[in-house]
Every structure is written in structure tokens, then in C-alpha cells.
Amino acid sequence: MTMRKWQFSVPCLFFALTIGGVAESQGLPTGRPDQMGFAPAGLSRIDSAMQAYVAEGKLAGVVVAVAKDGQLAHWKAFGMRSLEAKDPMEPNDLFRIYSMTKPITSTAVMILVEAGQIGLDDPVAKYLPAFGDVQVWTRTGPIPPRRPMTVRDLLRHTSGLTYGIFGQTPVDS
């Protein structure tokens, strides 16, 4: 699978994993895929791809949900929720999803960008004044940055900020 397809697949997989639980809890009705604008052949390709991931051992199990206008067009489970117990995956299984802060926050920021309430090239300090006096670490010590850190820098993880939990470097401090 190419990098481009993976970039598309990961958010779609997250959405598929999430929508299943939402569909269940919200009692979304099921619609006929063909009447909702979905080609049965296209949905079949999704099934084939997910089954291949399971068969190749890339995923133990996966749940796929396709919804439109508040109706489920397609909702299927593939593989096992537990390989050891040979327990099959069910469409309404719940998943613990880690490290979703970045994509959720990035989506929220892009909604604000789309609404014209924030700009990608705006300095971060415009919204968080404490970032107005940041320094850049060099071998000779801290210096002022060449340009302000922008919202775009934060979204693409090129701001120079660190987690501060992976090491004790001057940048972390």
C-alpha cells in the first residue's frame, strides 16, 4: 500500500471504528446502500480489503461502518477481537483508541480556519500570548527565532516543541 493510501486509510479506519459505536448508541437506522448512492461493488471492495488485512495478519480484527445522512449503509466486522480466544469481532464491539488528541485538535483547528476565525500563518502568540517570547536553542544557547511560531507549524509538528517526557534536553526545559 502506498503512503498516500495509508494517509487516507488511517483516518477512514478511525472513522469506521468510531462510527460503529456511535451508530449503535444512537440507534442509526440502516438504509439500502444503492438508494443512498453507494455502489455495492465499492462496498464489496472495502470488505475484500479488510478481509485481506485480517488474512495477512496486518489486523487481528476490524469493524467497518459507512454512513450517510444519519443512516448506516454498511456495517461489518472482520477477524477476531481476541486471537488467543478465537473470539470473533462483532460490529458493535468497543475499541480503546489511543493518541487521538492530535487528529481531533487538528480537525477542530481546520474547522476554525475554514470559518475564517484563525489563520494557518497566524503567530501562535496571537492566541497564546505566553508563546510571544519563546527562544530557539542553539549550541551556544537560546536565541530569538527567525520568525514567530505559526499555527501551521503546530499542525505539521515543526514548531520545535517537545513533549518534555522523553528526555532532559535544553529544548525540553
Give per-residue pLDDT as tens, 150-163. Answer: 999 999 989 988 87
Q: Which of 109, 171, 113 is nearest to 137 (CA)?
A: 171
Half-sphere exposure of 134 (CA within 13 A, CB side): 23
Please say if 173 is a catalytic residue: no
pLDDT at 26: 56
Task: Look up residue 41 and give its DSSP letter.
Answer: H
**Options 82, 99, 159, 173, the catalytic residue:** 99
Task: Find where cell 511560531 sits.
Answer: 149
pLDDT at 5: 38
Q: Which of 34, 149, 167, 17 is nearest to 77 (CA)?
A: 17
Q: What is the pLDDT of residues 100-131, one digit of tens each?
A: 888 889 999 999 999 999 999 999 999 999 99
Task: Pick out the chain residues at pLDDT < 70.
Answer: 1-26, 164-166, 173
Here the cell at position 152 is 501551521
- Give the E-state strand segments of 83-128 in sequence order: 87-88
pLDDT at 173: 65
- Give the E-state strand segments of the chain in sequence order: 61-68, 71-82, 87-88, 136-138, 141-143
